[in-house]
Amino acid sequence: MYFPSYRMRRLRQSRQMRDLVHETDLLPDRLIYPLFVTHGNNVRNQVDAMPGCYQLSINNLVEEAKEVRELGIPGVVLFGIPAEKDEAGTEAYDDEGIVQMAIGALKENVPELLVITDVCLCEYTSHGHCGIVRDGDVDNDVTLEMLSKMAVSHAEAGADIVAPSDMMDGRVAAIRASLDGEGFSNTPIMSYSSKFASAFYGPFREAAESTPEFGDRRSYQMDHRNSDEAVRETLLDIEEGADIVMVKPALPYLDIIYRIKQETKFPLAAYNVSGEYSMIKAAAEKGWIDEKRTVLEALTSIRRAGADITITYHAKDAAVWLKEK
């Protein structure tokens, strides 16, 4: 059946008609908001390259978290900025580390907000790499011990979900075994299963103060030219016990999101990273694009590709805009 019997424009003629047949829903209840927590009191440092994002001390983090919850956003991902960095990233697995304290404060003050924690050493090491460096490269197996300790300390502090983002081999299995061994068999792992070595992380490294001092992350994060490998990485993490898998970044990797969802049917998170955010913010500030429409279109496209959950710095704005609709 072709034109003129069929006219595709028939179902597009009014907003009500378009709403009736729309295929993809975008709701705040599938968004996660990333937050940066730092030592001190009453700190609220704006991140230059990420307008609208701040390094917050715990008291301000709690206020921010209440706002997030009131907007209908179910959870946050926490990143910590330690008091001191060292070779072994010690504060990462310290019971009184910044993230561990922040989890306690959030669970006490906003108990129904899901607290997801980033499990990775890069914010805590003096060299800025995601693990322990030996002979100029990150030592995989030694790093697994630190990551496991870190995940357990987050669970002990009350984290609802732990999210390893380091890209070491075998980390999901190591973390699962440690959590189970310490009585946290109910703590889910959201694994950054296909995380690409990406230029789009630039602004985050300013926010988290985690730029590597030498070299780059290409010996552990994935090559952006690969897609089959993303499927293998994800299947391995699933075998090791990942409960939720992830694709990161999101917008330049919609094909990967689509593929992973089709091939695994696992709960899938997509991380709409700092560079994706900053590009929209910068263009909007210049008046070159309409921020609201661009953000909602971008987030819808991530969902349409197959993501169940989207981690995004736009979450708060999007939640407000989605209510206005």
**Helix 228-240 vs helix 254-264: crossing angle, to nearest 10:** 50
Q: Closest CB to ligand PBG among 133 and 186? A: 133
Contact between 120 and ligand PBG by CB under 6 A: the answer reads yes
Residue 113: HSE in the Cβ half-sphere, 13 Å Cα cutoff: 33
Shortest Å distance, C-beta 82 to ligand PBG: 13
Chain residue at closest Cβ approach to ligand PBG: 204
Contact between 91 and ligand PBG by CB under 6 A: the answer reads no
In the DSSP assignment, the letter for residue 86 is B
Cα–Cα–Cα angle for 221, 113, 182, rounded to 5 degrees: 65
- 30 within 8 A of 310, measured Cβ to Cβ: yes
The sign of the dihedral angle between the CA atoms of 206, 210, 216, 222 is negative
Contact between 53 and ligand PBG by CB under 6 A: the answer reads no
- 29 within 8 A of 72, measured Cβ to Cβ: yes
Contact between 122 and ligand PBG by CB under 6 A: the answer reads yes
Q: Closest CB to ligand PBG among 57 and 274? A: 274
DSSP code string of 206-237: HHHT---SSS-STTTSBPTT-SHHHHHHHHHH
- Give me the amino acid identity at 116: I
Shortest Å distance, C-beta 130 to ligand PBG: 5
The binder of ligand PBG chosen from 201, 253, 266, 321 (CB under 6 A): 201
Rg of the chain over CA atoms, in angstroms? Answer: 20
Shortest Å distance, C-beta 192 to ligand PBG: 7
Give dist(CA 233, CA 169) in Å, integer: 9
The residues that are catalytic are 195, 248
Contact between 36 and ligand PBG by CB under 6 A: the answer reads no
Q: Closest CB to ligand PBG among 108 and 145? A: 145
As given in the structure block, the two tokens for residue 186 are: 């109910």
Instruction: Please work out the total of residues on this chain that contact ligand PBG, with binding judged by CB under 6 A.
Output: 11
The binder of ligand PBG chosen from 204, 220, 266, 321 (CB under 6 A): 204
Taking the CB of residue 241, how many other CB atoms lie within 10 A of it?
Answer: 17
Terminal C-alpha separation, the chain: 35
In the DSSP assignment, the letter for residue 125 is B
Closest CA to 81 of 150, 35, 127: 35
Q: Closest CB to ligand PBG among 109 and 282? A: 282
The binder of ligand PBG chosen from 92, 230, 260, 273 (CB under 6 A): 273
The binder of ligand PBG chosen from 130, 296, 298, 309 (CB under 6 A): 130
Shortest Å distance, C-beta 90 to ligand PBG: 17
The binder of ligand PBG chosen from 165, 187, 193, 312 (CB under 6 A): 165
Q: Closest CB to ligand PBG among 153 and 165? A: 165
Q: Closest CB to ligand PBG among 2 and 144? A: 144
Shortest Å distance, C-beta 166 to ligand PBG: 6
Contact between 274 and ligand PBG by CB under 6 A: the answer reads yes
In the DSSP assignment, the letter for residue 39 is S
Interface contacts to ligand PBG, rule CB under 6 A: 118, 120, 122, 130, 165, 201, 204-205, 217, 273-274
